[in-house]
């Protein structure tokens, strides 16, 4: 019986010693990975943001369209905001579209669609859009934000334009402006 206990103790010590030795071993250094962005740790995928300015006209079928100039992934999210107003302090008020507008002539909307290489922003309404005041059709400003799939958070309030810009780490002064008309 004493011999059995002695063998068990030796086996346990052997297993513990082996485990400690294996955990403390290091192997050869692996190959170097691809270079990262200087000054930044890890992967940093940023979203694309640009601003477009254009007029909605009957000749243009009350729409604006353009190409991104790059391809987006199927899993990316495209958001478009309309500059709806400016508050008393001079701050821009951006509204996520589609946006329904209740006008004295009836209801109309600003809406959009997109593919992997282009976008279209258009107006539609239950009345003749030619009767709209210039403030609804001329020099309309939109921001197109492309949110990479790895940055999509289903709990985020995407109607908060400034919150999305912050999440994408985009500064206002870095947003390019494109005049379509």
Q: Is the pLDDT of residue 22 over 60?
A: no
Only one residue has tokens 């909605």, namely 56
* CA 66/CA 119 separation, integer angstroms: 6
* CA 177/CA 164 separation, integer angstroms: 18
Beta bridge partners of 176: none
* CA 96/CA 32 separation, integer angstroms: 44
Q: Is the pLDDT of residue 36 over 60?
A: no
Residue whose C-alpha is closest to residue 122's, from 51, 72, 49, 60: 60
What are the domain boundaries of the chain? Answer: 48-179
Per residue in 131-165, pLDDT tens? 999 999 999 999 999 988 777 777 778 889 898 89
Share of the chain above pLDDT 90, in %: 46
Does this model's pTM top 0.75? My answer is no
Share of the chain above pLDDT 70, in %: 74
pLDDT given for residue 72 in this prediction: 86
Mean pLDDT of 4-32: 61
Mean pLDDT of 1-23: 61
Confidence of residue 19 (pLDDT cuts 50, 70, 90): low
* CA 99/CA 114 separation, integer angstroms: 16
pLDDT given for residue 33 in this prediction: 47
> Which contacts of 71-76 are long-range, i.e. CB under 8 A and separated by 24 or more positions?
71/116, 71/117, 72/48, 72/116, 72/117, 72/146, 73/116, 73/148, 73/149, 74/116, 75/149, 75/152, 76/146, 76/147, 76/148, 76/149
Per residue in 83-131, pLDDT tens? 999 999 999 999 999 999 999 999 999 999 998 889 999 999 999 999 9
Out of 2.60.40, 2.30.31, 1.20.120, 3.40.30, the CATH code matching 48-179 is 2.60.40
Q: Is the pLDDT of residue 26 over 80?
A: no
8 A C-beta contact, residue 143 and residue 27: no
């Amino acid at each position: 019986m004493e011999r059995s206990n002695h063998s068990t103790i030796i086996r346990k010590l052997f297993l513990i010693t082996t485990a400690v030795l294996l955990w403390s071993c290091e192997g050869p250094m692996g190959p170097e990975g691809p270079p990262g962005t200087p000054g930044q740790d890890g992967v940093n995928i940023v979203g694309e943001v640009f601003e477009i300015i254009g007029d909605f006209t009957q000749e243009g079928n009350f729409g604006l369209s353009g190409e991104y100039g790059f391809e987006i992934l199927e899993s990316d999210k495209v958001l478009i905001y309309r500059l709806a107003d400016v508050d008393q302090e001079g701050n821009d008020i951006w509204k996520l579209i589609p946006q329904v507008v209740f006008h004295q002539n009836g209801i109309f909307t600003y809406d959009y669609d997109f593919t992997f290489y282009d976008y279209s922003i258009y107006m539609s309404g239950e009345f003749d859009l030619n009767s709209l005041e210039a403030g609804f059709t001329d020099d309309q400003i939109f921001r197109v934000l492309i949110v990479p799939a790895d940055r999509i958070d289903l709990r985020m309030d995407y109607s908060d334009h400034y919150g999305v810009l912050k999440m994408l780490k985009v500064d206002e002064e870095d947003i390019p402006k494109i005049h379509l008309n």
